[in-house]
Structure 1
Amino acid sequence: MIGRIRGQLVAIVGEKIMVDVAGVGYEIAMTPTGLADLPPIGEEVVVHTHLQVREDDLSLYGFVDSDSSSLFKVLLSAAGIGPKVALALLSTHTPNELRRAIVTEDAGALSMAPGVGKRTAQKMILELLPKIADAEAEVVSGSGQAQVRQALENLGYRSEEIGEVVTDPSDDVATQLKSALKQLGQS
């Protein structure tokens, strides 16, 4: 539906932002971490979004990277997990920490998020473990590009920066990583 919005950041109020796109203001709920990664008000911003459609409400949830957005959608696929709880999980943990908690079946870590009790965490693990494990297997068995992207994300680079420098899948992982770090250091 609305997968990404690019426009001028107009306001940040609480845990929501307002993005002006051609004269239309979009109100988007975000995590505190996502809010911290935004440019200053008045600058252009790109936000990956998920449109939640309910009988009486249309809500946009936004993320600064596609990884968080994808994981948000996976979290929503679990029974009993709505957008507010999924956002709370992503506010409490990074995407990698969430995946690790699910794969290692750490209900205690998941229940640290507001709105997630032990029972809900255990149900989440039961439902999401196959989905997360399959995705992790694809990353491990996939091209070296996925490993390089993951390494750069772990070093704090944003998806937009990474996409511009990770290009040659024929090189081994070490060569790709050195090249990417060199290019990122020059920008």
Structure 2
Amino acid sequence: MIGRLRGTLLEKQPPWLVIDVQGVGYELEASMNTLLALPGIGETVQLHTHLSIRDDAHLLYGFIDEPERALFRALVKVNGVGPKLALAILSGMEQDQFIRCVMDSDVKALTRLPGVGKKTAERLIVEMQDRFPHWVGGDETLPAGQAPSTTPASDPRGDAEAALVSLGYKPTEASRLLSGLEDELSTEALIKAALSRQFTG
């Protein structure tokens, strides 16, 4: 089992990244919160990881801290929630916001996440409410003060739209969330702004 990686950040193309560890390039998929907290290309990174083994692939997921990985692992234990949906949830909401929605039985807010319908939202609430008391009041937020880095890209808007689609948004919805945003923004900044719109627009 691969539990943690420390190496040089080679590529960052949301939601994917590649880390060079002593000459071996590890490809990982990460939430947008993790990607936005990463340093620039060529710098040293350390991520907690989760390895998912399927018949057709070994998939590695990266997390900026242990609380995010713990929440991911709790999510994938919920009936009907796989790694892709778990990453979409982590990308669409801050951890403390998601915990509040579950504890408050806020079905409406949860259904605004891509891939989460009413039944899935209700299942998340029922199956996760008992797991969260030890989270509440803890320091479970992402590290503060880390500005998102920019990654050279030929088409930041196109890359941002592709990343949103990979999270489960329909192409038309991804395009709507990105409409009107400044073209000068980086891919990561566009994604962050688009995700924040889902609860205000």
Q: Please indicate the TM-score interval, normalised by the length of the shorter structure.
A: 0.7 to 0.9
Please tell me whether residue 6 in structure 1 is matched to residue 6 in structure 2: yes
Matches within 5 A, 1:171-182: none
Equivalent in the alignment of 2:189 = none
1:68 is matched with 68
Amino acid in the other structure paired with 1:21: V
TM-score (norm 2): 0.68
Q: Does 1:120 align with 2:131?
A: no
Task: Give the distance between the partners of 1:107 and 1:56, measured in 2 at CA.
Answer: 34
- Answer with 1 or 2: which has the greater Rg: 1
TM normalised by structure 1 equals: 0.72
Question: Which residue pairs with 2:96 in the alignment?
Answer: 96
Q: How far apart are the structure 2 equivalents of 1:90 and 1:100?
A: 14
> Contact between 2:14 and 2:35, CA under 8 Å: does it hold in 1?
no
Partner of 1:163: none
Q: Indicate the SS of the match to 2:72.
A: helix
**1:3 CA displacement:** 1.5
SS in 1 for 2:7: strand
Residues 155, 53 of structure 1: CA spacing in aligned structure 2 closer, same or farther, 3 A cutoff? closer
Quote how far apart the aligned CAs of 1:33 are.
Answer: 2.1
Q: Distance in 2 between matches of 1:74 and 1:2?
A: 18
Hey, what does 2:188 align to over in structure 1?
A: none
Note the 1:148-159 alignment, pairs <5 A: 149=139, 153=141, 156=144
Deviation at 1:117, TM superposition (A): 0.4
**How do residues 33-182 of structure 1 correspond to structure 2 at under 5 angstroms?**
33-133=33-133, 135-136=134-135, 146=138, 149=139, 153=141, 156=144
Counterpart residue type for residue 103 of structure 1: M
Q: Structure 2 vs 1, CA of residues 44 and 88 (structure 1 numbering), >3 Å: closer, same or farther?
A: same
Instruction: Give the C-alpha shift of residue 157 in structure 1.
Output: 5.7
User: How far apart in 1 are the matches of 2:132 and 2:117?
Assistant: 20
Q: Give the percent of matched residue pairs that are identical in Structure 1 and Structure 2.
A: 40
Unmatched 5+ stretches in structure 2:
147-201
Match of 2:196 in 1: none
C-alpha distance in structure 2 between counterparts of 1:54 and 1:14, whole Å: 22
> What is the DSSP-based 3-state SS (H/G/I as helix, E as strand, rest coil) of the residue aligned with 2:132?
helix
CA displacement, residues 137-162 of structure 1 (integer Å, 9 cap, x when unaligned): xx65xxxxx5xx45xx488268xxxx
The number of residues matched between the two structures is 146
Report the AA paired with residue 76 of structure 1: V
What is the Cα deviation at residue 14 of structure 1?
3.0
- 3-state SS, counterpart of residue 120 of structure 1: helix
- CA shift for structure 1 position 13: 2.0
Secondary structure at the aligned position of 1:156 is classed as coil
Q: Per-residue displacement from partner, 1:50-107 (whole Å, max 9, x unpaired)?
A: 1111111111111111111110001111000000000000000011111111111111
Task: Tell me which amino acid in the other structure corresponds to 2:119.
Answer: R
Cα RMSD after superposing both structures: 1.9
**SS where residue 49 of structure 1 aligns?**
strand
Match of 1:169 in 2: none
Please tell me the residue identity of whatever aligns with 2:17: I
Counterpart in the other structure of 1:17 = 17
